[in-house]
Amino acid sequence: MLSTVKMALQITTDAFDSYLTELIDAALNDLELAGVQTDGGGSLITIAVCTYVRARFGSPADYDQIKAAYDEQKAQLMTATGYTDWGESE
């Protein structure tokens, strides 16, 4: 996922790889705390992670808009079939 995030953020150097990896892990943890299953991956998870990292990497001038976009993506994942186990019963 690191290479995808770097491509989305147009980062070509390896200097930030450690920090970006921590942000990716934080994004996945945030989604998991919200009940989203991230182990299956998928493009919606990847997009949400990229958005999370973009909001927190550096000091973007449009932080509020990016954060709102991530919050909306997370909310949609929290209610999407196949990304949670809320409705499954045994």
Tell me the per-residue pLDDT of 15-44, one tens digit each, with 9 for 90 and over.
Answer: 999 999 999 999 999 999 999 999 987 999
The answer on pLDDT for 85 being more than 70 is yes
What residues contact residue 9 under an 8 Å CB cut-off, 6+ apart? 50, 53, 54, 57
Residue 29 lies in a domain: yes
- pTM here? 0.92
- Chain centroid to Cα 6, Å, comes to 13
Residue 9 lies in a domain: yes
pLDDT in tens, 50-66: 999 999 999 999 999 99
The answer on pLDDT for 88 being more than 60 is no
Q: Could you list the residue range(s) of the whole structural domain that residue 8 is in?
A: 2-79
- Alpha-carbon span 17 to 31, nearest angstrom: 21
Total domains, the chain? 1
